[in-house]
Amino acid sequence: MKTYSLGLDFGTNSCRSLIVDLDSGQELASQVVPYPSGQEGMFLNPKDPNVARQNAEDYLFSMRKSVRSAIDRAKEADSSFDSTRIIGIGIDTTGSSPMPVNEEGLPLSQISEFKGNLDAMVWLWKDHSSFAEAAQITDLAAKKRPHFLAKIGGIYSSEWFWSKILHCKNVAPAVFKATYSFVEICDYIPAVLSGNTKPDFLIRSICAAGHKALYNEMWGGLPDKEFLSALDPDLGDLRDRLYTKAVSSNQPAGLLCRKWAHELGLESGIAIAVGAFDAHMGAVGTGVKEGTLVKILGTSTCDIMVSPRDKGLADIPGVCGIVDGSVLPGYLGIEAGQSAVGDIFSWFVHQLVPDSYGRTDDVKFKNLEKEAARQKPGEHGLLVLDWNNGNRTILVDVRLSGLLIGQTLQTQAHEIYRALIEATAFGALTIINRIEEYGVAVHEVINCGGLAAKNPFLLQIYADITGRPMKVSQSDQTCALGAAIFGAVAAGPEHGGFKTVKEAQQAVTGTKEVFQPDRNNHLVYKDMFKLYSQLHDAFGTSSWSGSLSNVMKDLIALRETQRYRRIHARRTQT
Amino acid sequence: MKTYSLGLDFGTNSCRSLIVDLDSGQELASQVVPYPSGQEGMFLNPKDPNVARQNAEDYLFSMRKSVRSAIDRAKEADSSFDSTRIIGIGIDTTGSSPMPVNEEGLPLSQISEFKGNLDAMVWLWKDHSSFAEAAQITDLAAKKRPHFLAKIGGIYSSEWFWSKILHCKNVAPAVFKATYSFVEICDYIPAVLSGNTKPDFLIRSICAAGHKALYNEMWGGLPDKEFLSALDPDLGDLRDRLYTKAVSSNQPAGLLCRKWAHELGLESGIAIAVGAFDAHMGAVGTGVKEGTLVKILGTSTCDIMVSPRDKGLADIPGVCGIVDGSVLPGYLGIEAGQSAVGDIFSWFVHQLVPDSYGRTDDVKFKNLEKEAARQKPGEHGLLVLDWNNGNRTILVDVRLSGLLIGQTLQTQAHEIYRALIEATAFGALTIINRIEEYGVAVHEVINCGGLAAKNPFLLQIYADITGRPMKVSQSDQTCALGAAIFGAVAAGPEHGGFKTVKEAQQAVTGTKEVFQPDRNNHLVYKDMFKLYSQLHDAFGTSSWSGSLSNVMKDLIALRETQRYRRIHARRTQT
């Protein structure tokens, strides 16, 4: 008899439900439901652009609606579909997105005293208001616990668990005082579904704990009390109300409780996998294995690899995190990323492209690409540093900015657009090089996410610049698919699921297109990458010292050579 | 009885005639007539963007029409006006804009064999096709005649006389062979008006000769034959068919011949001053004197100063030229400049500003300024190098390009617009500093040209950045006014003109507005100028070596400080 798994993907603006046929691997039905409150689900502070919060009730509302609707759609797609044959649920969310809860696990924002208080809500991953606290944590760790930093690339981020909690303590002491514990959204949703929300008992994800909360079994779980107390005595006390153990998503967090079985229209008692972050489950849904780099290309980029635990692995400076079991059980999960990719293109098109390219951003994108595709690499004479939103890997520095060099009085918008895409590819290559330098070979690159699905022009440039084939994931909803895989593994073969993640991946993941690198373009890009690296090190590292007087001249020379080649190539054709 | 002088200003696209009342200083009437042929008077080569040529007949056509029309207008403006009381004519033109002529002084382009041949036309100042020859000349001079380079800032330009002639020889040997001599347009027009066009006899301008043809009495006029022959034997031969003496514009080039008196509707026999370049006569029309820096702000910028010959003056590295008598007789003329100012703004508005700022470039300019004016210095967090068209002073390097740093995902077009204006002001300050460093004190700055007349926002930023008051010339047509001054001096007091340029300047020049620097803004800009200078030296000089890791961080810190100050200032007001 057929079995199905349900993947739930909680994004920044909406919840997606995906029903996967575990026999055929077919994605039977899916449904996206935006969060109903805030601005696209976010609560912002007009006086402080760093603030971004969410309402935990929104997750439940959108989950309920999207699951019910996906079930309806599955029935339409296949009349033999039977929702009682859904054997497991997997959950991925954004992160680090912690929220304060009381001893019962009730979000503080649902207690009348704190209704409407932004600091009592979910502190969304992209909230940067705790940058000062992040610096404080980094400084203290550098002095007292350098081994903490070695696993997270050297710098603790303002986006992460402890920065946010310490900032909450500093700016909202009343909220902090009323808080029993803090819970990541990826742990809250499984807790709700299994009816086990008490912070002392609910199951915590190794993915969130290891990548964002400095959890590591090497040093006994979360950071020690002495370290936390040195940041703030209340943080030391809080440690006792957090957790001592975090687990991988192949494990069940619990079973679906009656209340939520009823709410969602599912059978109670089915397995609910431990949650994890979207990128990590997305990598699994894309088919990550040893030697595979999964690139999740969206507004920002997340790069995921795994390396067998037994092989051992040196710390990789500048890589966001290395966490045992955060992607696949038995493997070290390696997370890297670029702070802005699609976001840079959207910024440029929205702010700096005249209407001669089209009247809407969509049309502008199409025409920019059309014009940019006519040029040879380097013909625009431009070079960009893709740091408009800082640099996550390998510099781990938010206090960086964009740079554009090479513009003349003739430079056109589509040339800059091409240079922006190239810059993100150079950034991607910098990450690959760093990972390989530390002994993790990249045998294949599989891309997924919005940009991979709809931007072949970008993927070709990525192939040309990296000199590697760029594969594209078969699924367009890899995060939800990864979640469904974990749902099926948590259910286990005895319920029609799978024993291992690998088996589940073989059943439901795959790739479709492959973009092969062009040899000639790659040679030109090798020269441009040298210049990119020169600027990268000059502006991004304090150790660099040297001269830059070659940069503009080399770009002009390349522009002239490539323009000549294109004109010459056209002449010999005609 | 009243007397008048006629100033003729031959620009890149049109000829302007100006009739000045020498008693009152009033600009009685003027008329601009575009050149009738080519694209806005220019003949371009779609295959080579470096090429820009002109048709000498256009100058005569537009001069005829504009003088006659100015006379008509003068009569309308003042019924007592009598054109026979015009006592002198002065002429300024673009340059270096040489053209090949035959032994009679007839432009080669007017000989049937070469009709329509671009290489037989006027090689307009902005023609850059001879960049390879410029490098050849610079290299040879560096080895054999370093004193040549010392007077022109160290590098011979592709825009200049010998580069163009050598390129003509290389690409159009037939044209070169048929050429008897080459004549600058500023010498050709006075020659035509005085009926003295034979190259062996016509009077040559010290301004053109000294600034563009390496002419200097110190080494016996034009470069020696040995030097020229080493570039090309034919150039050595050509030297004999050029000139041995060049003179200042207070001297007459001749008297108006009957033919052209008839054509223009003037009295024959009136004085025609020796021609000069537009910027130099513009400086005189703006009131240049010792201690005064005249900035001609247009698509590009020309900076002019004078220093008494007797005082002596060291060579100033990176300054375009120091030529005895090129601006005022008895003074060394010092010329510097920025390769693109207004051109950078036009490029940006045309290529990179969305229609949300307006549907035409004019409206976009207005709204960009309106939005940019709301910000405090440094609040955009941006910094620009203004080298989209290379750097004329103090780097003298066309193989440089623009640079924009500091952009985030929130950066808007008006912020970049402000940063572009600031960059040109930092470039202006770099020139002032260099000139003062070499002992020429700048006591006042007077601005003229299109941008000075219509851009108070820009002038305020220039005042704030340089920390100096920015005065604006009373006249909007300073080049033609300067030409009229020289016409009056060439005529002399015996015909109702003036004995000296100084006397004529006192009668007809002056300033109107003054923009005073804001002390607080200046302090912020001092910090930004340090960063500008750091980037300037890092990318523009081969001697610099160091670190740039502070640049992005300093800009971000300044952005945060200034944003805080603006918000705080607003709060304390309300």
Three-state SS string across B316-327, please? CCCCCEEEECCC
CB-based contacts of B442, cutoff 8 Å, min separation 6:
B291, B293, B305, B432, B435, B436, B468
Q: Which amino acid is at A539?
A: F
Cβ count near B410 (within 10 Å): 13
Number of residues assigned to chain B: 574
Q: Which amino acid is at B439?
A: G
The arithmetic mean of pLDDT across residues A258-267, rounded, is: 97
Distance from CA of A559 to the nearest CA of B (A): 12
Candidates A392, A403, A409, partner chain B, best to mutate (most B CBs within 10 A) = A409
pLDDT of residue B15: 97
A381:B388 CB<8 A: no
A357: closest chain B residue by CA: B354
For residue B548, what are its two tokens? Answer: 């740039």
pLDDT above 80 for A320: no
Distance from CA of A139 to the nearest CA of B (A): 18
A351:B413 CB<8 A: yes
3-state secondary structure of A283: helix
pLDDT of residue B571: 60
Of B352, B353, B407, the CB nearest to A401: B407
Of A411, A549, A553, the CB nearest to B351: A411
Strands (E) across A453-527 are located at: 470-473, 511-515
Burial of A331 (C-beta count, 10 Å sphere; 0-12/13-18/19+): buried
B381:A401 CB<8 A: yes
Distance from CA of A11 to the nearest CA of B (A): 21
B552:A538 CB<8 A: no
Q: What is the DSSP string of B445-482?
A: EEEESHHHHH-HHHHHHHHHHHTS-EEEES-S-HHHHH
A402:B416 CB<8 A: no
Contacts of A381 in chain B (CB under 8 A): 401
Strands A98-101 and A86-93: unpaired
pLDDT of residue A397: 86
A409:B553 CB<8 A: no
Cβ count near B561 (within 10 Å): 15
Of B49, B542, B548, the CB nearest to A539: B548
pLDDT of residue B152: 85
CB-based contacts of B143, cutoff 8 Å, min separation 6:
none
Which residue in this structure is represented by tokens 């497991």? A88
Contacts of A407 in chain B (CB under 8 A): 388, 401-404
The arithmetic mean of pLDDT across residues A152-171, rounded, is: 93
Number of residues assigned to chain A: 574
Distance CA B82, CA B63 (A): 19
The larger pLDDT score, comparing residue A418 to residue B315, is at A418
Residue A445 half-sphere exposure, CB side, CA atoms within 13 Å?
25
Residues B462, B529: contact at Cβ < 8 Å? Answer: no
pLDDT of residue A552: 98
A403:B402 CB<8 A: no
DSSP letter (8 states) at residue B377: T
Residue A386 half-sphere exposure, CB side, CA atoms within 13 Å?
31
For residue B405, what are its two tokens? Answer: 């740093």
Residues B551, B529: contact at Cβ < 8 Å? Answer: no
pLDDT above 90 for A568: no
A411: closest chain B residue by CA: B351
Of B416, B544, B549, the CB nearest to A542: B549
Distance CA B508, CA B21 (A): 8
DSSP letter (8 states) at residue A264: H
**H/E element, A88:** strand A86-93
pTM of the model: 0.90
B401:A406 CB<8 A: yes
Residues B343, B299: contact at Cβ < 8 Å? Answer: yes
Distance CA A398, CA A134 (A): 11
Which residue in this structure is represented by tokens 């909220």? A175
A410:B350 CB<8 A: no
Distance from CA of A493 to the nearest CA of B (A): 48
Distance CA A287, CA B212 (A): 68
A387:B552 CB<8 A: yes
Cβ count near A357 (within 10 Å): 21
B13-22 residue pLDDT tens = 999 999 999 9
pLDDT of residue B312: 84
CB-based contacts of A129, cutoff 8 Å, min separation 6:
A48, A50, A51, A158, A167, A171
- Bridge partner list, A8: A17, A91
Peptide bond into A89 cis (omega under 30): no
The larger pLDDT score, comparing residue A449 to residue A221, is at A221
A401:B556 CB<8 A: yes
Of B354, B399, B538, the CB nearest to A548: B538
- Taking 70 as the pLDDT cut, the residues of chain B under it are 570-574
Contacts of B395 in chain A (CB under 8 A): none
A408: closest chain B residue by CA: B388
Which residue in this structure is represented by tokens 């060049």? B246
For residue B88, what are its two tokens? Answer: 């002198």
Candidates B47, B347, B408, B554, partner chain A, best to mutate (most A CBs within 10 A) = B408
A409:B541 CB<8 A: no
A49: confidence class by pLDDT, cuts 50, 70, 90: confident
Contacts of A409 in chain B (CB under 8 A): 340, 343-344, 347, 388-389
Of B381, B540, B551, the CB nearest to A549: B540
Distance from CA of B563 to the nearest CA of A (A): 11
Contacts of B355 in chain A (CB under 8 A): 354-355
Of B49, B404, B541, the CB nearest to A549: B541
- Tell me how many residue pairs between chain A and chain B have CB atoms under 8 A apart: 142
Distance CA A520, CA A556 (A): 19
Largest Cα separation within chain A, whole Å, is 78
Q: In what order do the strands lie in the sheet with A444-448?
A: A321-324, A331-338, A301-308, A292-297, A444-448, A470-473, A511-515
Distance from CA of A409 to the nearest CA of B (A): 6
pLDDT of residue B570: 64
3-state secondary structure of A516: coil
B404: closest chain A residue by CA: A404
Contacts of B44 in chain A (CB under 8 A): none
Contacts of B538 in chain A (CB under 8 A): 538, 547-549
A486-521 residue pLDDT tens = 999 999 999 999 999 999 999 999 999 999 999 999
Which residue in this structure is represented by tokens 């510097």? B336
Distance of CA A364 to the CA centre of its chain: 27
B389: closest chain A residue by CA: A408
Distance CA B294, CA B432 (A): 11
CB-based contacts of A481, cutoff 8 Å, min separation 6:
A7, A18, A20, A27, A285, A475, A508, A509
Largest Cα separation within chain B, whole Å, is 78
Of all residues in chain B, what percent are helix, strand and coil, respectively (each to 5)? 45, 20, 35
Contacts of B401 in chain A (CB under 8 A): 381, 405-408, 552, 555-556
- Bridge partner list, B388: B390
Q: Which of A423, A470, A422 is nearest to A442 (CA)?
A: A470
**H/E element, B101:** strand B98-101
- Bridge partner list, B445: B293, B470
φ, ψ dihedrals at B537, nearest 5°: -75, -35
Residue B573, by phi and psi: left (phi above 0), alpha (psi -120 to 50) or beta?
Answer: alpha
Of B406, B545, B549, the CB nearest to A401: B406
Distance from CA of A19 to the nearest CA of B (A): 36
Which residue in this structure is represented by tokens 């302007």? B16
Distance from CA of B160 to the nearest CA of A (A): 21
φ, ψ dihedrals at A339, nearest 5°: -65, -25
B401:A399 CB<8 A: no
Cβ count near B374 (within 10 Å): 10
Of A401, A548, A556, the CB nearest to B401: A556
- Bridge partner list, B37: none
A547:B553 CB<8 A: no
pLDDT above 80 for A229: yes
Q: Which of A296, A100, A118, A126 is nearest to A188 (CA)?
A: A100
For residue B57, what are its two tokens? Answer: 């007949």
The arithmetic mean of pLDDT across residues A24-50, rounded, is: 92
Distance CA B385, CA B394 (A): 13
Helices A519-540 and B549-573 pack at an angle, to 10 degrees, of: 60
pLDDT above 80 for A573: no
Cβ count near B517 (within 10 Å): 19
Distance of CA A268 to the CA centre of its chain: 31
Of B344, B413, B542, the CB nearest to A352: B413
